Amino acid sequence: MSRFLIYVIVFIEGFCSLGAEVIALRRLVPHVGSSIVVTAPTIGFFLLALALGYASGAKVAGNYLNIVARNFLIAAALAGIGLAGISVDWMFAHLQPVLVAYLVFIGGVLCPLAWLLGQTVPILTNLMKAERTGEASGLALYWSTLGSFLGSISLSLLVMQWLGVSAAVFACALGLLIGALLLAQRNFKFWLFFGLTIAMAAGLNLQHEVTADTAYAEYVIGDVVLPGQKDPRAFRVNKSLASLIDDSDPPNYTRYIKHLRQILLDDLGFFDKDILVLGAGGFTLSHREPLNRYTYVDIDPAIKAIAEKHFLREPARGEFIADDARRFVATSERRFDAVVVDVYSSHTSIPSHLVTREFWAGTRRVLKPDGILLANLILDGKLETPYARNLLATIDSVFGRCAVDVLHKAKALANVEVSCFASSRPAETGIYIDEKNRADLDRAR
């Protein structure tokens, strides 16, 4: 077998194996979020399966080309079918609890794919003519790793951004099928399997009904039934309701947007103010609101065009900046009268780097001295969980005591609106007791 063809095959293996891992992480976001407790085990399981594949490949003693071709065909089916959005959605809809669906996805799709592709390099190095064993394995690993680098970069930054995640899945499956055909050009069964797999991969990925699909999120905009509203529609991000709007005059919005508008426009009387919104959602906070200047920051550069075309059906009011929220508040020289934090990668998942004390200190940094922070949080309605208590305590540690409004007290998960003033400062607190009651003195002060 020519050295050039071996390099092509191991390049495809690297490209598609790491590409599959990137796609898997992206597919998990709408269902389990993107926190470190999700990404770290996923990467760990993938690497474990890859290592086991290396060990299995080292034991192969013959029939090298057919084995690798067979592995590529099976891996192509796992990628094209198992990583399709409709397949992943089915797993998480029908396999409960969520941990079961996650383990089935990892154990039934991602790990077998990695194990099969991991066998490629140790098998094909048997066919390389080289003066030293180290030369053969080193060059094979070089081309495999180069493929991994280009696969992760091109699929995440180019294919997902411009064509969507489903296109990346199809590209990964197609690459593996091409590799299989290069290895078994005259085998009719391989050609038949190629045709069936490519048809199923295309069908499943083309049927993934989304309005838009980017490297950061899956967007679905569709009609909903809401009594008393005129043609209401929902803006869903990663299967979670982000915004609502209808064609009434004035339009109806989600309850938490109405609440934020009430604070800014009615309670505080904002006029001619600069408002920073971290997390664009459906751009409804500034919709038909001409009194103030709005700046939206969202990590997905495509979200504004998607919202304008399919949701608002008119241009969004305000400036849009595609950037990470934490990076923006840490580096911006601008100062704002209000900062609205509404950052979610799915219904209950705030990216973990946007809940820390350092992030909230960044939001305070970009506030004017008399500015206000408004944060929309999804917490348990009773604020009893450790996450709810710790997150609120973290914000208080930066701003001092903040106002907390629970909008849906009877629900297990509720919108919780937190209001903090830049003029406040954290301070030590005490407890009033009968023996030492300083309530009157504190009130007088």
- Could you give the domains of the chain? 3-209 (1.20.1250), 260-421 (3.40.50.150)
What does the block give as tokens for 140?
Answer: 């094979």
HSE, side-chain direction, 13 A CA sphere, residue 286:
30
**Single-letter code of the amino acid located at 175:** G
pLDDT of 62 higher than 90 = no
What is the model's pLDDT at position 207? 64
Lowest-confidence region among 169-178, 285-294, 343-352? 343-352
140-149, 170-179, 214-223, 225-234: lowest mean pLDDT where?
214-223
Beta bridge partners of 115: none
CA 316, 321, 326, 328 dihedral sign is: negative
User: What is the spatial distance between Cα 52 and Cα 116, in angstroms, rounded to a whole number?
Assistant: 9
Tell me the mean pLDDT in the region 271-291.
94
DSSP 271-327: -S-EEEEES-TTS-TTTT--SSEEEEEES-TTHHHHIIIIIISSPPSSEEEES-HHH
User: 180-207: per-residue pLDDT in tens?
Assistant: 888 876 777 777 877 888 888 888 777 6
Query: How far is 5 from 157, CA to CA, in rounded Å?
Result: 27
**Do the Cβ atoms of 3 and 128 come closer than 8 Å?**
yes
User: Which strands sit side by side in the sheet containing 212-213, from one edge to the other?
Assistant: 212-213, 218-223, 233-237, 240-245
Q: What is the pLDDT of residues 355-397, one digit of tens each?
A: 899 999 999 999 999 999 999 998 888 899 999 999 999 999 9
What size, in residues, is the chain?
445
Nearest to 273 by CA among 186, 334, 346: 334
At 338, the pLDDT band (50, 70, 90 cuts) reads: very high
222 or 192, higher pLDDT: 222
Residue 131, pLDDT > 60, answer: no
pLDDT beyond 60 at 3:
yes
Helices (H) and strands (E) in the chain, counts: 17, 11
- pLDDT class of 128 with cuts at 50, 70, 90: confident
CA distance 269 to 263: 8
pLDDT category at 208 given cuts 50, 70, 90 is low
What SS3 state is found at 87?
helix
By DSSP bridging, strand 367-380 and strand 413-421 are antiparallel
pLDDT at 169: 93
CA distance 305 to 327: 22
In this prediction, residue 436 carries a pLDDT of 82
246 token code pair: 């209808």
Burial class (CB in 10 A: 0-12, 13-18, 19+), 290: exposed
For the chain, what is the mean pLDDT? 89
pTM (two decimals): 0.81
Q: What is the DSSP letter of 354?
A: G
The DSSP result for 97-131, as a single string, is: SHHHHHHHHIIIIIHHHHHHHHTHHHHHGGG---S
pLDDT confidence of residue 212: 80
Percentage of the chain modeled with pLDDT above 70: 97
Looking at residue 130, its pLDDT comes to 61
pLDDT tens digits, one per residue of 80-113: 999 998 899 899 989 989 999 999 999 999 999 9
- pLDDT value at 175 more than 90: yes
What sign does the dihedral 349-351-354-357 (CA atoms) show?
A: positive
Taking CA atoms, 61 is separated from 57, 122, 218, in Å, by 9, 11, 45
pLDDT, residue 346, reads: 59
**Got the DSSP string for 170-218?**
HHHHHHHHHHHHHH-TT-HHHHHHHHHHHHHHHHHHHT---SEE-SS-E
Question: At 60, phi and psi to the nearest 5?
Answer: -70, 130
Question: Is the pLDDT reported for residue 297 higher than 60?
Answer: yes
At 235-264, the pLDDT tens digits run 988 888 889 999 998 999 999 999 999 999
Residue 347's pLDDT is: 57
What span, in angstroms and rounded, lies between the C-alpha atoms of 444 and 117?
74
